[in-house]
Amino acid sequence: MKKVILKIEGMSCSACQNRVEKYLNKQDGVNASVNLVMAQALIKYDEEKVTLNDLDRFVEESGYKSLGVYNKKEEEKKDNSKYYLISYAILTVVLMYISMSHMLELPIIPFLHMTRHPIYYAITLLLLTIPFLIYGLDIIKSGIGKMLHKSPNMDTLVTIGVLASFIYSLANLIIIITQKEKLVEHLYFESSAMIIYFTKLGRFIDKKSKEKTKEAIKELVQITPSSATIKTEDGEKEITIDKVKKDDILICKPGMKIAVDGTIMSGVAHLDEAFITGESIPSKKSTNDKVIAGSINIDGYIEYKAEKIGKDSTISEIVRLVVEATNTKAPIARIADIVSSYFVPAIIIIAILTFITYLLLGKEFNEAIISFVTVLVVACPCALGLATPLAVVVGEGVSAKKGILVKDSSTLEKAYKVDTIVFDKTGTLTHGNLKISEIENYSDYSNKKILNIVSSIENKSTHPIARAFKEITPDHNVSKFKNIPGIGLSAVINNKNIYVGNNRILKKIGIKNKYEETEKKLIQKGNSIIYVIENKTIIAIIGVKDVVRDNAKKTIKKLKIMNKKIIMLSGDNEYTSNIIGKYLQIDKVIAKVLPKEKEKVLNDLIKNNHKVMMVGDGINDAPALATSSVGVSINSGTDIAADSSDVILMNDDLSKIIDLLNISKKTIKIIKQNLFWAFFYNILMIPIAIGILKPVGISITPIFASLSMTISSLTVVFNSLRLKY
């Protein structure tokens, strides 16, 4: 039996996992175990009976896609990057020591003496440099590729610098060996090595701060239950989710989750489906209403017919949207690449002009070519690869201290450009659940006492409104508790009849409403109303609503001063959305939008050349977060929102968005300065390389090259650290 791990695309729930696993195991000579979270199948197969191609086909036949054999080596190679970096750091020091000890008057290794043993010296430098070329082969390949496609980037510039120094030094080495000429001062092997090392170091820092692996599917496994209760002729039966078939009648009791998308056949219940709709109050569902897999049944018994299962379900659709959006998101052009794209042609032109001018001046071909190469050698700044990652890392550190977790390293390079900020309502601008917002007290009791009484009764209710009181500890003995459907609750506390509910309760117990005006006022503010009655007297009116988060209003006001357009998206109804939109002075409110429509709003904005930040918390926001230029999620939100976003606000404080924009602006400024300093000394070297200063006896030597490298690298390091203050 042979063993392979296949990567599988498209599995989004445990039903999918079971389907693939079963289908594979049905095949002759195949033994498979499928891991949904890792999106992998561990397969043992009999080579005589099946081939790898057959395995791919089986996966396709089961309805999913095989992405081929999981390449463990490649992943391991990535993990080794730290050790490579350390080993090459040591090698860099050795190389620098050998090549520079004579300049710095440090003890010289006798047999590697530059002038006494030039051949040993040069060959040692060559041998020590070759590993760096292998180490940086990916950069060189990419640099040449980009050059051939006429879109030079940072890699191209690095490649030119590295290859020019290496080939030039190699040619000189051959001359040293064959013609015994003293050309040892014209070896730039260590420049090649240093440029590669610094670029690799920059990449490493960049990668460390880059986004963590996406584990979006993990959460969705928990959203949809792994089993369902099916109604059969022999009564109820618990079955695993993959056994559910279309048109099965399933049962859902209070506290349970809906297992698959379907339609209610009988029963009534409040279902919490905020994760899809953003509706802050669980909605009442009865016969013929649709239900979505993963919604939580709060209080009723319902029977529903299974309709969309596994891959076709609403949840799977969201996963598909997120994956698509993440995969098609265009990477931003990074500044170092943009600068290089201008610098590369400029350098090549200068080099060619130098070459031609030398020939025109009647100089020897040899001299012309040497000047040509020298220009290329000095042009590539060693600190180029460090300029961006260092600033970004420091910027991310500053952000983290403020509770802003930046997941994607390019975020700080683009956040400052955002012109439109789209907020989700429920759970992002608001807390996402009902809270007590107002209390009008008409009694001698303290507010605290009234809330205690109400909480003691509501504690026994499963109605969504009761959740608003769960933070208040009930401390009264309640007897004769009764639920009055559609109206409220009644009970006896301290020998007094207490009623809580909507205004219909007044009619029921036969008392007049003196507070209609107050009720109207509270409703206008978006509250649901609870009358509290003791015996036959109204003792209070309590308003509950989904309360806006602290700082939301202040933050939006400041963002508007910063010229950002603010949009609010909500799956909730227009009435509630508009109340909140008006209170927060939001420019545009879009209500009643499904996850797919949220994504579309974002896509349309981006198509119209807007740079859009999306701020959200829920599963229904995930596709929009993944689509946006910068996705920001709230820490208390769902894992899938966090996975789909670039930034997480650790303490749910919306005002941190302003800090994020400011840090991004400062980071970009530092990056630009870094690039300036990285290039500055190299640009100063170019005239010397061309030979303009030859008449006064100054020509380029490795001392100048090394010096410019060291100074520019140090400047970049210290300039980046300035971001901290």
Instruction: Compute the least distance from the CB of residue 529 to ligand AMP, in Å.
Output: 7
Q: Is 434 in the site for ligand AMP (CB under 6 A)?
A: no
| Spatial distance between the Cα atoms of 411 and 408, rounded to a whole number of angstroms | 6
- Strands in 269-272's sheet, in edge-to-edge order, are 283-285, 269-272, 296-297
Q: How far is the CB of 528 from ligand AMP (least distance, A)?
A: 6
Residue 594 interacting with ligand AMP (CB under 6 A): no
**Span 266-285, contacts to ligand AMP by CB under 6 A:** 284
Rounded Cα distance, 262 and 285, in Å = 12
424 is an active site residue: yes
Q: Does 530 bind ligand AMP (CB under 6 A)?
A: yes
Is 487 a residue that touches ligand AMP (CB under 6 A)? Answer: yes
d(CA 314, CA 480): 43
641 part of the interface to ligand AMP, by CB under 6 A: no
Residue with tokens 């099946």: 50
Q: Residue 486 interacts with ligand AMP (CB under 6 A)? A: yes
Minimum CB distance to ligand AMP smaller for 102 or for 463:
463
For the CB of residue 581, give the shortest distance to ligand AMP in the complex, in Å. 23
Least separation, in Å, of the C-beta of 280 and ligand AMP? Answer: 13
Nearer to ligand AMP, 300 or 691 (CB): 300
CB of 282 to ligand AMP, least distance (A): 9
User: Residue 216 or 541: which CB sits closer to ligand AMP?
Assistant: 541
Does the protein bind ligand AMP through residue 396 (CB under 6 A)? no
Nearer to ligand AMP, 320 or 463 (CB): 463
> Which of residues 202, 381, 501, 616 is near ligand AMP by CB under 6 A?
501
Nearest to ligand AMP of 284, 476 (CB atom) = 284
CB-closest chain residue to ligand AMP: 502
Q: How many CB atoms lie within 10 A of CB 514?
A: 10
Residue 353 in contact with residue 171, Cβ under 8 Å? no
- Give the SS3 label for residue 488: strand
> Could you tell me how many helices (H) and strands (E) the chain has, helices first?
25, 26
Sheet containing 404-406, strands listed edge to edge, beginning at the edge strand earlier in sequence: 404-406, 647-649, 630-634, 612-616, 420-424, 565-569, 588-590
First and final C-alpha spacing in the chain:
61
* C-alpha count within 13 angstroms, C-beta hemisphere, residue 699: 10
534 near ligand AMP, judged by CB under 6 A: no
Report the C-alpha gap between 386 and 389 in whole angstroms: 6
Interaction between residue 500 and ligand AMP (CB under 6 A): yes
Active-site annotation holder among 424, 621, 646, 653: 424
Spatial separation of the C-alpha atoms in residues 621 and 184, rounded to whole Å: 63
Pairing of strands 630-634, 647-649: parallel
Residue number with CB closer to ligand AMP (497 or 701): 497
Nearer to ligand AMP, 199 or 461 (CB): 461
Number of residues that bind ligand AMP (CB under 6 A): 14
488 sits near ligand AMP (criterion: CB under 6 A): yes
| Spatial contact of 558 and 658, defined as CB atoms under 8 Å apart | yes
Shortest gap between Cβ of 458 and ligand AMP (angstroms)? 6
* Cα-based torsion angle of the residue sequence 320, 321, 323, 325 in order, rounded to the nearest 10 degrees: 160
Q: Does 192 bind ligand AMP (CB under 6 A)?
A: no
Closest CB 25 distance from ligand AMP, rounded Å: 47
CB of 204 to ligand AMP, least distance (A): 57
- Is residue 366 classed exposed, middle or buried when 0-12, 13-18 and 19+ CB atoms within 10 A define those classes? exposed
Q: What residues pair up with 606 in beta bridges, in sequence order?
A: none
Q: Please, which residue, 289 or 659, has the CB nearer to ligand AMP?
A: 289
Contacts to ligand AMP from residues 442-471, by CB under 6 A: 458, 461, 463, 465-466
**Is 455 within 8 Å of 467 (Cβ atoms)?**
no
Task: Point out which span in 166-174, 321-329, 495-503, 662-670 binds ligand AMP (CB under 6 A).
Answer: 495-503
Q: Does 568 participate in binding ligand AMP (rule CB under 6 A)?
A: no
Task: CB nearer to ligand AMP: give 205 or 466.
Answer: 466
**Cβ-Cβ contacts under 8 Å for 650 (sequence gap 6 or more):** 403, 404, 405, 635
- Cα–Cα distance measured from residue 471 to residue 461, given in angstroms and rounded to the nearest whole number: 14
Which residues are designated catalytic? 424
Binding site for ligand AMP (CB under 6 A): 284, 458, 461, 463, 465-466, 486-489, 500-502, 530
